[in-house]
Amino acid sequence: MSVLVDEVMKLSPPPSDQKASSKDFQSDQDVRWCPGCGDYSILAQTQRVMPDLGIPRHRMVFVSGIGCSSRFPYYMNTYGFHSIHGRATAIASGLKMARPELSMWVVTGDGDGLSIGGNHMIHLLRRNLDINVLLFNNQIYGLTKGQYSPTSEKGKITKSTPFGSIDYPFNPAALALGSSATFVARTLDRDPKHMQAIIKRAAEHKGTSFVEVYQNCNVFNDGAFFQFTEKDTKDDTVVYLEHGKPLTFGKEKDKGIRLNGFSPEVVSLKDGKWSVNDLLVHNEKDTTLSFILADMTYKSGLPRPIGIFLAIDRPVYEQEMVRQIVFAQEKRGDGDMVKLLNSGDTWTVQ
């Protein structure tokens, strides 16, 4: 750390910051999302979780790109950077490398993070910087008023696809796993408790945390996830992933997922043919399993997996960078500019 930054980090926070509440994380800016937008819930859950993390807000940075979700930093009373389309992950990476001690959050959407910013996203994930990515997936372009997104379902009719989209959608969780992410999770805007738990786990994870949030855009894609969030359907359409627990779902937990070869299938626990002991048991440390679970996403007849697909440890990029620097300084001493300038083949003119 440079001398000047070191001086800043020695400053003590005002006493009012000692016991923060969710309110302390609300900025003085008016929230300008459409009434009823799923973003409100994500903002509220994030602000609720923040005080529990034990990190003072002046050491938190929220970085975003462009899109509805990317307005998020303006509403957080932390440091924030509302940048350009798709680049939040790259800006956050640079900031994290420069300042590993900061708590870094990237807020992005399906367009910002997977379309224009897809390249930076996959590289962030494979490098494994300690950054938390909240990807709001509403399967539509909201800010530009309703074009299809890289997660929109095939055949979707939008302003730019009047005859139906011919694009096959990304499966964000599978993309993240394919990019060697170390933490991959999915949660729902209409399940506040679950979201809070996931955000907390993401914050605690050392390495890049990829959290896909199903978020309803009530103006341009209303109800896209209602089957997974509304009372009358959700029990049969969602399976919650819990570490060490068998995959059961249904109102009476009377259905489960078992592996038939490598393929998950739904079985009934009522007819006596299968019991809980036959079911797939979730293990968030198992990379192979994580791929199988993520692959359930668009398969008809299978419930949508929600929860933590994978949470494993791998060296954190910026720590590796620091390690090399410390090693070099121990070996060669702190860099001496005068020495450097006078190094190599020199000669003197009298």
Partner 1 sequence: MAEKTIQNLEEVTIRFAGDSGDGMQLTGTQFTNTTAILGNDLSTLPDYPAEIRAPAGTLFGVSGFQIHFGSTEINTPGDQCDVLVAMNAAALKVNLGSLIDGGTIIANSDGFNDKNLKLAGYASNPLTDGSLQKYHLHSVDITKLTGLAIQDMNLSSKLVDRSKNFFALGMMYWMYNRPMESTIDWIEKKFGNKPEIKEANLRVLKAGWNFSETTEIFAVRYEVGPAKLAPGKYRNITGNQALAWGLIAAAKKAKLDLFLGSYPITPASDILHELSVYKHFGVKTFQAEDEIAGVTSALGASFGGALGVTTTSGPGVALKTEAIGLAVMVELPLIIVNVQRGGPSTGLPTKTEQADLLQSLYGRNGEAPVPIIAAATPADCFETAFEASRIALKYMTPIFCLSDGYLGNGSEPWLIPDYNALPEIAPKFRTEKEGFFPYSRDEHTLSRPWAIPGTPGLEHRIGGLEKQHITGNVNYEPLNHEFMIKMRAEKVERIANEIPLAKVEGDSQGDLLVVGWGGTYGSIKSAVAHHRQKGNSVSHLHLRWLNPMPKNVGEILYKFKHILVPELNLGQLVKVLRAKYLVPAVGLNKIQGLPFKSIEIEKKIEEILRGTK
Q: Which residues of 275-314 are buried (b: 16+ CB within 10 A; e: fewer)?
A: eeeebbebbbeeeebbbbbbbbbeeeebbbbbbbbbbbee
Interacting positions 116-135 with partner 1 (CB under 8 A): 119-120, 123
Question: Do strands 255-260 and 263-268 pair parallel, antiparallel, or not at all (unpaired)?
Answer: antiparallel
Q: Establish if 54 lies at the interface with partner 1 (CB under 8 A).
A: no
Interacting positions 87-106 with partner 1 (CB under 8 A): 87, 90-99, 101-102
The least distance separating partner 1 from the CB of residue 29, rounded to whole angstroms, comes to 7
CA angle 87, 76, 314 (to 5 degrees): 55
d(CA 29, CA 333): 48
The answer to whether residues 283 and 241 touch, using CB atoms and an 8 Å cutoff, is: no
Q: Establish if 164 lies at the interface with partner 1 (CB under 8 A).
A: no
Q: Establish if 77 lies at the interface with partner 1 (CB under 8 A).
A: yes
Binds partner 1 (CB under 8 A): choice among 40, 74, 226, 291:
74
Q: Establish if 18 lies at the interface with partner 1 (CB under 8 A).
A: no
The least distance separating partner 1 from the CB of residue 210, rounded to whole angstroms, comes to 17
Using alpha carbons, list the distances in angstroms from residue 9 to 70, 148, 223, 327.
28, 44, 46, 23
The interface region with partner 1, picked from 60-68, 195-203, 229-237, 249-257 by CB under 8 A, is 60-68
Binds partner 1 (CB under 8 A): choice among 61, 195, 293, 311:
61
CB atoms within 10 A of CB 60: 20
The answer to whether residues 141 and 156 touch, using CB atoms and an 8 Å cutoff, is: no
Q: Establish if 321 lies at the interface with partner 1 (CB under 8 A).
A: yes
Structure token digits, residue 86:
């798709």
Q: Establish if 22 lies at the interface with partner 1 (CB under 8 A).
A: no
The least distance separating partner 1 from the CB of residue 96, rounded to whole angstroms, comes to 8
Nearer to partner 1, 272 or 335 (CB): 335
Structure token digits, residue 110:
């399906």
The least distance separating partner 1 from the CB of residue 28, rounded to whole angstroms, comes to 9
Q: Establish if 29 lies at the interface with partner 1 (CB under 8 A).
A: yes
By CB under 8 A, how many residues form the interface with partner 1?
73
Using alpha carbons, list the distances in angstroms from residue 247 to 79, 122, 168.
40, 29, 28
Binds partner 1 (CB under 8 A): choice among 13, 36, 155, 223:
13
